[in-house]
Structure 1
């Protein structure tokens, strides 16, 4: 069976690897230059930044077994720290029993571990799909045609999946019109003294989460930098600003850090990224995948199962498991 799969994030590559194990011919189409989706990273001279998911947890027994395999392969490490939170503008310890994992050396290692022997077309933006007697046909934004696929699996954000599929299937009919909210992400290289135990901060209405990346196991930073941070701004703040904001995202993040830490910091470098489809809205939709059996079409992704890294893996696992069962 020939399968076309759109999207090389964790759910897409997990589904592709399962299909390949079953002996199917799978071709993956990815519009960006690399694997990972929201597990993407940015390599700067002052540090390698995970700009999407900062860590992940494991609750499902099947996913826990996968994490054990990743740990044995040194593709994953435990990030052992006690988080802080911001309460009425004050930094407060907020210890919990949560086990947090990170990819090693970067979060997209989770995807690379699953991608061997899979044919992937990078920088290939599929702009149109249609079903014919010969199977699924895919047309890229630059005019390339890919045809004769028995099945199509789409692992894009809900809004992009709807745009792509609405003309050929009603598979997205039960999905809310808007599923995601945006997130501004800011990477900062700083100089200044910060207490060693402050590694992760649950924030406020401006910054939702702050990672002290330089405290994570195996992180390497430039010698002239004390710390490297990744700040994820709240969905409400990010939505209000929009992608074309004139606000200096890096300076805003630095000001927030200085206020929360009650100390002066010097910013030596910064990086910013706007995630249009980042956070899942508080809507009632928890179906691990969508299926149009008549058209031989499936839709998967983290957004189908709560938005977490674990959800991406489970969406693919359950979809392929049910299709092959």
Structure 2
């Protein structure tokens, strides 16, 4: 039963990705008072949407590309709810995997995306009278008696006291971050430092007009050097809600993990990495376009490639986890004595996927609800 008025439980959530947003909404629906702290400009985590700031406005789903077929009934119910409320729609089109000279059609697989952009999933989850969202706010947490005290990481402004703390961003416990350095949750921070990340770089490009390519998404196996660093390319403007009226076409290019690992060796300056990501991925995509266009236009031989009018690069540092067995075996991590729960897509059997993040966020919220039953009657 949904509770419309708040109970006395105050919960802080670090991170606004799918795990954090799911935990926040699950608790808010039961009446808890939730505040979500997001260090970035916008919400969504790996489902965030990049929107250009200068000149014509272009948008890209530069992280998670789509939601695949649900593996669990719990997530299927959640996805059905998102579809019903209009924050998710099916992405229809033509998709394929490319292995050498073989292009295998994979269009029959179900794919869903946030509508009208990928971060609409989290925006909808966090749109609730019991949830406050503070972006561009990196919060440092420490225990003050029986409550959590959160302060702004830069200004040291007091952000409030809370009964429970949920960490949905594993970077919160990283060596280079102070978010949890005074929280004394070593059971969590010691464990997550063993989790590595799949290397990933992304390029976002805009063509002056539509490519005459009858594919909306292509997955590359990484086994053929002709395809260079590419792991995935997608026509972003083919997704529901991303259509453009000016004839231009937005594409997202993502690296193959093996290629990204090699390309990032010895590189640490973020601006140089972004430029490299853009240059390498765009080059490799343009190199293979004649081959792909020739296949798409076998009858009319029209393989004209329009000019690129905008492009940018991005590096994902810790967005694609390689979890340890410890985290695979649990959906969230509860430290009851500290009133602390950690969640994220690095927990459970579906690591790195939106489904895994959703299940983990629900698990974290349910741990808190289970320990405070008297407040959730």
Q: TM-score, normalised on structure 1?
A: 0.89
Contact 1:186–1:231 (Cα < 8 Å) also in 2: yes
Contact 1:91–1:261 (Cα < 8 Å) also in 2: no
**Secondary structure in 1 matching 2:362:** helix
Structure 1 95/246 Cα, relative in aligned 2: closer, same or farther at 3 Å?
closer
From the two aligned structures, give the one with the greater helix fraction.
Answer: 2
Equivalent residue number for residue 232 of structure 1: 254
Structure 1: distance between partners of 2:86 and 2:32: 29
The answer on 1:253 being equivalent to 2:281 is yes
Equivalent residue number for residue 171 of structure 1: 187
Equivalent residue number for residue 136 of structure 2: 123
**Secondary structure in 2 matching 1:92:** strand
Unaligned residue ranges in structure 1 (runs of 5+): none
Q: Aligned-residue CA RMSD in angstroms? A: 2.4
Cα shift readout 1:145-191 (whole Å, capped 9, x = no counterpart) = 234321111111x2432444355112224445233233211111125
Unaligned residue ranges in structure 2 (runs of 5+): 1-8, 223-228, 291-302, 371-377
Contact 2:201–2:313 (Cα < 8 Å) also in 1: yes
Matches of residues 210-221 of structure 1 in structure 2 within 5 Å? Answer: 210-221=233-244
Structure 2: distance between partners of 1:109 and 1:316: 17
Structure 2: distance between partners of 1:246 and 1:165: 29
Larger Rg: 2
Contact 2:48–2:62 (Cα < 8 Å) also in 1: yes
Q: Which moved more, 1:303-312 or 1:196-205?
A: 196-205
Q: Which moved more, 1:110-119 or 1:38-47?
A: 38-47
Equivalent residue number for residue 274 of structure 1: 315
The alpha carbon displacement at 1:85 in A equals 2.2
The alpha carbon displacement at 1:61 in A equals 1.0
Matches of residues 62-73 of structure 1 in structure 2 within 5 Å? Answer: 62-73=74-85
Q: TM-score, normalised on structure 2?
A: 0.78
The answer on 1:139 being equivalent to 2:115 is no
**Secondary structure in 1 matching 2:64:** coil
Structure 1 245/264 Cα, relative in aligned 2: closer, same or farther at 3 Å?
farther
Contact 2:194–2:324 (Cα < 8 Å) also in 1: no
Structure 1 166/289 Cα, relative in aligned 2: closer, same or farther at 3 Å?
farther
